[in-house]
Each structure stands twice: as C-alpha cells, then as structure tokens.
Structure 1
Amino acid sequence: MDLLHGGDAAAAAAICGTALLAAPDNVDLLTLRGVALLACRRPRDALEPLQRAVERAPRFARARENYGQALLQTARLRESVEQLQEAARLDPRSETVRMKLGHALASLGAGEEADAVFEQAFGLAPDRGLLAEAGEHLREGRVQECERICRELLARRPDEVNALRLLAKVAGESERWGRAERLLLRALERAPGFHDARLDLSRVYKQQDRLEDAVRSAAEAVDGNPHNPNAHYLHASMLALTGRYQEALAAYRRALDISAFHPAAWVGMGHLLKTLGRTEEGIEAYRRAIEQRPNFGEVYWSLANLKTFRFSAGEIADIERRLAEEPLDEDARVHFLFTLGKAREDQGEYARAFGAYAEACALQRPRVAYDPVETEVINERIRNVFSADFLARNAGLGCMDPAPIFVVGLPRSGSTLIEQILASHSQVEGTAELPDVGRVIAALSARHPGEAYPEAARRLEASGWRELGESYLERTRRHRGGLPFFTDKNPNNFPSVGLIHLMLPNAKIIDARRHPLDSCFGSFKQHFAHGQAFSYDLVEIGEYFLEYRRMMRHWQAVLPGRVLELRYEDLVRDQEGQTRRLLAHCGLPWEDACLRFHETERPVRTASSEQVRLPIYSSSVNHWRHFRAELAPLIEILGEELDGWDP
C-alpha cells in the first residue's frame, strides 16, 4: 500500500502478484493488485484479479468499485454500470463510487441518470463537487470563477493538489508560466506521485523554451508510472522537439506498445516519420490514427500536408460526407476543409478547391489574434530605430561568429528549398525555423520594462550587441552539431534584419522570394500549426506582403548588399547558376552535392518536407494562374508589386 500511495504502482502490482502465489484467494491482495494495475493504465490486466476478488467476496464494495472501473476502461459499459450500482448499494457513503458510476452512465448515453448520480457524489464530498465545478468553469473560459473556487478550497485545505493544478492551468491561460511552474512544483512537493501534475510541468517548461527540463520532467513521469502511455507520449513529443528523433521514435513505440489505441501517439509518430523522410511509414501511422478516431481532422490534413500524397475519390467523398453530416467541432471542420481544398486542387477542380479553402479560412480567422494595424505600427517603429545612422554608429560591435545563415521572407516562398541546398553542403548544418531571434528580442525588452523593443535597442551599450549575439548562439546550440555553419530559416525574422546585422555582423542573410501571388496564395491555403495569423484573409495577406516589401526595401536602402535576394523562379530556371550565387554569398566553396540536394538525408519539419526530397521541378511556378478569378481582390491590393513578374 505504501508503494501504491508513493506512486510506484508497478512495484506494488509486482509484490501483490508474488504474494498471491502463496495466497491465491486473498481478497485484499487480489483487490490491491487490481488497483495497482489500474494505476499503471493496464485495465485489461486488472480485470482478472478484480473479478476473482468479487467472486470470493461479493459484498466487498471496494473490489466491485474497481472491477467496475476496469470494465469502464475496457468499454464494457453495461457490465461496468451493473458492478458500480451494486458497489454504491453496498457503500452508500462513497462519493468515489458515484463519480465512477456517473462516468459509466454518461459513456452509456444515460445523461440524465449520470447527472443525478454526480449530484449525489458532490453532496457526499462537497470539495470534489467544487473541483468539478472549477474544472467546468476553466473549460468554458470562465477563468476568474475557476480561480475563485480553487482559492477558497486552498484556504480550507492548503494541500489540495488538484486545486493547485487547476490554478497552474489558470496561470497558463494568461501565459504566466513562471507562476504555473511554482504551483505545480508545490503540488509535487505535497504529492510526488501526482503524475498528471508532472506531465503538466513538462508542458510548462516547453512553453518557457526550457526543453531539456521538459524532457527531464516527462522522463520522471515515465519513471514514476512506466505503464502510463500518456507519459511516454509526452516524453516522445519533448524528445522530438530537442532533435533526439530516434529516442523520440522509441518513446512513441513504447506508448503504443502499452496502448495501441492512442490516436495522438499515432499522429505524433506519423509527424516524426515524415520529418525523417520515412513517408510510407508515416502515412501508415496516420491511417492508424484515422481508424481509431475517424473524425480526427488534423490527421487528414497531415496527409494532405505531405503535398505529394493524393486522396482517392472514395476518400474525398468520405471527407465531403463528414463535413455534411457529422457533428464536427470547429477545429476538425477547419482541418477537413483545408484537406478538401487540397484534394480538389490535386484533381484540377480549382474553383471548388478555392471554395473549400475560403470556407476554412473564414472559420479559422476569428480563432487567431492578428491586428494588421499593429503590424504596420511596430514595423514603422523598427524602421525609425534602425536608421542608416543608428546602424553605422553601432556597426562592428556584435559577436563576430560567422556561423548563422538566416533565410527570411514569407512562408511558402522557397525557403525550405534554399535551406536544403545549403544543408547539402559539407560545412552547413540544416536546423529548422528557430524561434531564437524572437526570444532574444523578448529578453531585450524585459531588460527595459518601460521601453520595449525596438526602442530598447537604443539603450544598449557597446558590449550589449556582442552579448545579444552570444545569447542567440547559446540558445541555438541545442539544434547544432559540430559543423562550422548552420541555417535559421524562420521567415518571420525579416523585420529583424537590422538587429541581426548588429548583433551578428558576419552572419549571412538571404531573402527567399517568389511570385507575390504564388507566395500569398500558398499561405492562404496552408493551415499553419501555429503562427502566421495574417494568412487567413486575402486582404490581410496582401497588406502583410506590402509591409514585408516595405521592410525589405528599407534594409536594402540602409544596408546595401547585406541581404541576398534569391527568387524561387530563378532557382528553378537556372539551378546551378543560382546555387553558385547562393554559396558565394555565404562564403562557401562549391560542392556538387548542393545540386543533388534531394539526396541529402536530414530531418525536415516544414510543410515542404516531401517536396525538397524531389529533384527541382517547375510545376509550382505560376500555379496561381489556376485561381486568377478568385484572387482578384489580392491582385488589386498587390498592384505595382506584380510589375516585373510573369502575368
């Protein structure tokens, strides 16, 4: 029992199993082994000892309660209800039995009966009812009400760890990650075996960009409860974020060995296999997720987002049926609509494809926060601060390490292709879209609470520029091996060219450009996992593009020759000539491997991961022409920006 309370359920189950060899009919041991196996997330294994306990002691309420729980977790719902009803009759004062009975009735579809049983449970344990009420407030977005209830509970019971965990979630809602961390650590001090809190702590560390701490916390959850598939799943996710892909793959497999019914783990493994270039295995993983959760829209989009994958006519018809008939939540509907747009586009049904994309974007736009006026204002402030005079006065003060190669621009403009070419060079490490320039900016703003970036840059002393560069290099170290150079292809770094120039004077910068309409429409029809909130409205995309060009013209004016503009269309038409130009800008000697970039084996995380594993092709050039009529509002906004491009 001490082991079970201490969080080592696996050891408790093993000890009970050994003891049962000598006393096979001991009801207490049978029940304890079943409880321990349930704590290990092994409900099927728990059925046998708990059934034996019930058979030997029919009036033992605790054995029936846990037998009912095991039946519930193995989807034997009617049997679960029968056992839990009998347990409730045997122990009329037990609120835990009634909570489990309520869940079983709800799973069976008996909503009114379930509500009545929950009310009985809350009457027997008012604090449990208050916690349930607080959780409901949080799910519905009533954060203040949740916080009020949790504080009331903690005033009476300072060690109520569930209330601490809920308060940490409240803190997370407002991105107060430091407070969330402190609350979870406090809960774990009081209950070291509270594995859900430890998993939450891993997620909080991730939000703070403390990825090694996130991995460690998830690993501790695995150690404490090695039979919990969710712990292995989260551990795998965190390992993947740190680039430890083979370890992550092994952790996903362990999660699925414990519970093959785990759609999220199948999706995570599919993403990882795609990143590693093991496309067919990734597709199979995605299909397993669909089998287990047919309305899991994200998985369908993951298949569509392979770009080289094609849905069959039957699969497209099934997607259309789900959109028309199934009660999909908004997130699933958005994913299905983007998927349908891609499937129709692949079939050459361009007008119908655009209709699906437009409907998807109309649903997604209210779900993201984006203010185009705010974007224009902050970019104007950046241009005002990083003037020619300011740049000249602070030139040469940064960290002189030449390792970083930045690829900036707009999404869907060929940056992954440029990165893949560079990463095919023996001296260049291809990384990903790194968030670290933004983190450096956030840290700079934090130094001067009354004066945020970009104005805070004016407060830097001479040594401050070198410190910023060194900070960036230290932050990115986890993504790098031992090669002399590395890429950072975060397209959103284009407003930060001046900052990059001052903190890393020897870094190379490339502006990835593509026909404005292909670039803008490519973003419109891409459902981004995060960021790029400007991309769900054609007018806002057009205005964002104009702001991007205004910013790049500023850098060209104040830092002439500092940024190489490389057009996707030029690279397609003259691969060798443009590749030589790219390598020369980066100070790299010629290597033939850069022309055979599609043969380079490396993880690629972006939407273009499959495309850059193919030889260069021209079918994406001027693809926008298929949608000329639908893109009329965008064409009008872009105006003169289209001059000089193929009409």
Structure 2
Amino acid sequence: MAQQNADQANWLKATLRDGYDRLQRGDQAGAANCCRQVLQRKPDLVEGHFLVGMIAMNAEDPKTAIQGFGSVTKLQPDHSGAWAQLARLFMRRGQINRAEDALHKAVAHSDDNAVVHDTIATVYTQLGDALSAAQWQEKALEAQPQNIGFLINRANNQMFLGDFKGARQRLEEVLLKNPKNANAHWLLSGLEKARDRQHIEELASLLSTEKLGDRDRAYLAYGLGKELEDMEDWPAAFRAFAEGAAARRRGIKFDENSEKAAYQALADTYTEDWLGNKQTGCDAQAPIFIVGQPRTGTTLIERIITSHSEVHSAGELRQFEGAFRRLLRERSDDGLTGVIRATGDLNPEEIGRAYMTLSKPMQGEGSRFVDKLPMNFRFLPLILAALPNAKVVHVRRGPMDACFASFKQLFADAYPHSYDQEEMARHHGRYYALMATWRERFGSRFIEVDYEKIAGDPQPHARELIADLDLQWEDQCLDFYQQSGAVTTASAVQVREAAHTRSVGRWLRYESELAPMQKALTDLNIPLEH
C-alpha cells in the first residue's frame, strides 16, 4: 500500500509538471488533458485546480478561471497565489469589491513566492495605487532579479512615478537579456521623443518577422508609430498604428450590443424625476471627479487641480463602481445593464458613504482629492445623487482628435472599442449622446472644460476652473508639470511638460487615412471638431 501511494504521488507530480510545461509551450489541449487525468485520480488536488485556473486564463475564459482558483481557496484557504489570481480576474470583470477582498487575503497569506508578489503588484496597479505596487514589485525582484517580466512591470511603474531614468535602466537591462522583447521596446519608445531613426529601424526589422504573435506585433507597431510620428513621418506612422490596432483587435473581445444596451439603461434609469425623488446623499465635500473619454486631457486637468495645496491626486479609482456593486451584493455578478437598472433602487447616501470608506486609503491628507477615472461619466447622475456636495468636471475634446488619440494608443485591458476606426467612432457617439442627455437633465450640477481652450491659453481657464471648484487661486496650478507623484495613465510622460497645443488638430495629418472614422461620426451627426 505504501508503495502504491508513493507511485501515485510520483505520477501525480510528473503529470502536473508535464501539464505546466505544456501550458508554457502554448499546448492548451495537452495541458488540459494532463489536468483531467490528475483530477480524475485525485479530485481534491490543490495544484490540479490551480492548473485549471491557469489554463482557463490563457484561453480567455474568466468564468472557468474563477471556478478553478475558487476551488483552490476552498481546499486551501491560505493559498495566496489563488487569491492573487482571483483579485486580478475580478478587477478585469469590474468587480472591485470582490477584487479588494481577494487582494486582502492574498496579502494576508503571502509567502516567499515571487510570482505571487508580482501578481499582487499588478492588482495594486489596476487599483491606481502605484506606490504599493512598487513595494511588491521590489519584493518580487529581490527573489528573482533576472526575471524579465518583473523588470518590465517595475519599469512601467517607474514611468508612472516619473522616474524615467530608472525605467530606462530597467528596460535596457531587459533588452540586454532579450533584444527582441516587444513589450520593452514599446515602453522604451514612449520614454522620450525620438531624435533619429536608429530605434525605428530596429522596430521595423523586428516587425518583419513572420512568426510574431499578435500581442508582440501590437507592441512593436505602436512603438514604431509613435517614433515615426515624432519624426513627422505621418504616412508611415499611420500604417504602423493601423497594423498595431488590427493586431490588438484580433486578440480581444468587444460586445458592442452589450455596450449599446448598457448606455440605453443609463439614460432610462437616471432621469430628472429619479434624481428629484432620491433621498439626500452623503454630505462629504472632499471628492472632485474628473470624467470624459481617455486621451482627451483628463490628466492635464487633474495635474492643474492637484497642484493646489489643498488637493490630493487619488488616481483613477474604481471605488465608485465598487461601492454600488458592493451594496448590490448577490446582484453584483449581473451584466452591466442589469447592474445599472438595479442601482436606481439603491439608497444614495449608502453609496456615498461606501465610496468614501473604500477610497479612504487613497484620499491623502488634503481637504479635497481628485478621482480621475474617465469612464465614471456613465454614472455621473449617480455621483450627483450619492455625493451632492462633490464636484464633477467633464473634460471635452474635439471628437476626431479624441477618437484618433485613443485609436493610436495601446491600452492595457481597457477600451476594447478603440482598435477599429468605426467601432471607436460609434462608441464615441454613444458617449457623446449620453453626455448630451446628462447636460440637458443635470447641466447645472457639473463643470465642463474644453481641452483645446485650456491647452491653448492655460491661465484664464485654469483660474476659472479653480474658482468653480471653490478653491482659492494658487500660482503653482500653472506649474503642474513640475509636480511629483504618480500618473497611472498613458499620459505619464506628456504631463511632465507644460501645456501645449501640438496635439490639437493632429488628426488632420491623417485626414484621408481616417475616412472611415470621419464617416461614422458624420453619420451620427457628430461634428468632427468643437
């Protein structure tokens, strides 16, 4: 009997190792077969269920991944790796409260596993807490200083924190180990303006490789497009952006019909009568929400405001959505449309209090703080109900510049609509129409600023904005580019310089190439510029 047990243990170990090896090589079917064999032999094998989760994550099957890692935590409640993976999965699904709970357990049970430390750092990054992410990244690198993935994540974090010299050193270290690492090349291209074609030629050479995965092709193409644009080689830049967008679009799912239904639910739920009949919300006066579309100047506006001595930058927080999802409890797994309709019945004061509690660690020491999550524009009326004394700033930008700025940006896991010209334009149309609805119903309750005006003539418009926020003017609000602190968005490099208008009307450089985007906006009766 002892020998049989030993033989089974050895077989299980070998089969599991084979499964993980196959997963590393991209053999999903082979890994899944190994997984089935070990779980048939031993259904309560923790490592087998963890492999289920990893296989499902690779297959972009979050539901099965959550089930796999969830089984691990039931069998072994102190398994920090499974909790960390669950936290990351919940973040991707927008289930902020569940992500925070899983993250707390991952941290509480953390051991010396460097991969777990790096995963915890990733979740902190997604929550907008770059400083906590940096601490966990350093722990991971202490254990595995040569790990390329860890080095890239640390470099990315250093860019957010404004340590561009440190980020460059990390990326150059990566490229010494692997000169073909596409992610490192992409990040390197964004650190500063290209002044010659040396790196451009290297990127173009790497892109010519036939056996290149879509994700790597997207990294290299977007990096190439950015540097070609720096050199004002407009036609070649667009070809690179288009190649990168097409590669990224092939690797993601975007359910446009679900987005349409969600936006309709927003307009149907948050009416004037709905807000008028609501109880009084939480009386907190500290929050300042900045909303809009990505790449429209929201970070510029945030930096102006948070240069004020009384205002702290809390980053792009997911806590408002997390607050109402937490209150929905068992309904929090519904699709977004169902969640939106359910929020109409919630007590706004409870939402406001929950938000203030969840965001407390990020609020800083000042009397006010900025929450700059652009997509909160969807929930603007709910913010007004939950936090009636908060300020909401909507940043507008010319539609073609806004759409093109997103199209030529490679995002992490956000904005899946941005990699196709027509999908991008139709999404912008839904945003445009929804903001028109909010303006008609609640226009006196929020502030609107135009990116073009504040970039072209910062002083009067910045002064007006600061006054609208009930703050006294401070000259340092015009010196925002000298401000230290994290910028956890794609604008991390740009906002370290003074306001400029170089990006205003940039789309006209590509007018003929952007014909599909122009037509889609025109068909929706949306002006191409303000």
Q: Are 1:350 and 2:242 an aligned pair?
A: no
Q: 376, 389, 393: which is aligned to 2:273?
A: 389
Match of 1:512 in 2: 395
Per the TM alignment, residue 581 of structure 1 is displaced from its structure 2 partner at its CA by 1.9
What SS is found at the alignment partner of 2:354? Answer: helix
Does 1 or 2 have the higher relative contact order (CA < 8 Å, sep 6+)? Answer: 2
**CA deviation vs aligned residue, 1:71-92 (integer Å, no higher than 9, x gap):** xxxxxxxxxxxxxxxxxxxxxx
Shift of 1:636: 1.9
User: Which residue number corresponds to residue 203 of structure 1?
Assistant: 85
Q: How far off is 1:608 after superposition?
A: 1.0
Q: Does 1:437 align with 2:324?
A: no
Map residues 403-442 of structure 1 onto 2, 5 A cutoff: 403-442=286-325
Output the CA distance in 2 between the equivalents of 1:492 and 1:229. 33
Q: Which residue of 2 aligns with 1:262?
A: 147
Report the AA paired with residue 152 of structure 1: Q
Residue 496 of structure 2 is aligned to residue 613 of structure 1:
yes
State how far apart, in whole Å, the 2-side matches of 1:393 and 1:241 are.
35
TM-score by length of 1: 0.71
SS of equivalent residue, structure 2 residue 85: helix
Distance 2:21 2:527 in 1: 52
1:29-49 per-position Cα deviation (integer Å, ceiling 9, x unaligned): xxxxxxxxxxxxxxxxxxxxx
CA distance in 2, matches of 1:333, 1:301: 10
Gaps of 5+ in 2: 91-95
Q: What is the Cα deviation at residue 294 of structure 1?
A: 2.1
Any gaps of 5 or more consecutive residues in structure 1?
A: 1-92, 97-120
2:157 corresponds, among 272, 278, 300, to 272
Q: Percent identity?
A: 26
Quote the offset at 1:177 in angstroms: 7.4
Alignment CA distance shift 1:241-1:622 (3 Å) = closer
Please show how residues 189-588 of structure 1 align to structure 2 within 5 Å. 198-208=80-90, 209=96, 210-211=99-100, 214=103, 217=106, 221-222=110-111, 225=112, 229-230=114-115, 233-234=118-119, 237=122, 249=134, 252-253=137-138, 255-256=140-141, 258-306=143-191, 308-310=192-194, 312-325=196-209, 327-394=211-278, 397-443=280-326, 445-448=328-331, 452-460=338-346, 464-588=347-471
1:219 CA displacement: 7.4
Q: Tell me, what secondary structure is at the counterpart of 1:408?
A: strand
Shift of 1:606: 0.9
Aligned residue identity for 2:148? P
Query: Deviations for 1:463-485, whole angstroms, at most 9, x for unmatched residues?
Result: x2111111112121222212221
CA contact (8 A) 1:295 1:328 kept: no
- Give 1:263 deviation, angstroms: 1.2
Q: Tell me by how many angstroms 1:452 deviates.
A: 2.2
Q: Is the CA contact 1:127–1:153 (under 8 Å) kept in the aligned structure 2?
A: no
Partner of 2:93: none
Matched, 1:185 2:69: no
Change (3 A) 1:233 1:311: farther
Q: What is the one-letter code of the residue matched to 1:304?
A: S
Name the CA distance, whole Å, in 2 between partners of 1:393 and 1:133.
58
Counterpart of 1:163, as a letter, is G
Deviation at 1:330, TM superposition (A): 2.0
RMSD: 3.2
2: CA distance, partners of 1:176 / 1:478: 32
Q: Decide which of 125, 137, 141 is 2:11's aligned counterpart.
A: 125
Larger radius of gyration between Structure 1 and Structure 2: 1
Distance apart, 1:577 and its partner CA: 1.4
Q: Distance in 1 between matches of 2:160 and 2:202?
A: 27
Q: Which deviates the most, 325-334 or 440-449?
A: 440-449
**CA drift at 1:351:** 0.9
Distance (whole Å) between structure 1 residues aligned to residue 142 and residue 80 of structure 2: 22
Distance 2:423 2:55 in 1: 32
Task: Work out whether 1:154 is the aligned partner of 2:42.
Answer: yes
1:215: Cα distance to partner? Answer: 6.6
Aligned-pair CA distance for 1:625: 1.5
Letter of the aligned partner of 1:129 in structure 2?
T
Structure 2 CA distance for aligned equivalents of residues 644 and 252 of structure 1: 42
- With over 3 angstroms needed to count, the CA separation of the structure-2 counterparts of 1:316 and 1:577, relative to structure 1, is same
Taking a change above 3 Å as real, the CA distance of residues 362 and 236 of structure 1, as seen in their structure-2 partners, is closer
Q: Which string of whole-angstrom CA distances, capped at 9 and with x for unpartnered residues, describes residues 373-423 of structure 1? A: 3222221121111122112111x5211212211111111100000010111
TM-score (norm 2): 0.86
Q: Which amino acid aligns with 2:499?
A: I
Distance 1:178-1:542 versus aligned 2 partners, 3 A rule: closer
Q: CA 1:168 to 1:476, structure 2 compared with 1: closer, same or farther past 3 Å?
A: same
| 1:165 maps to amino acid | F
Number of residues paired by the alignment? Answer: 509
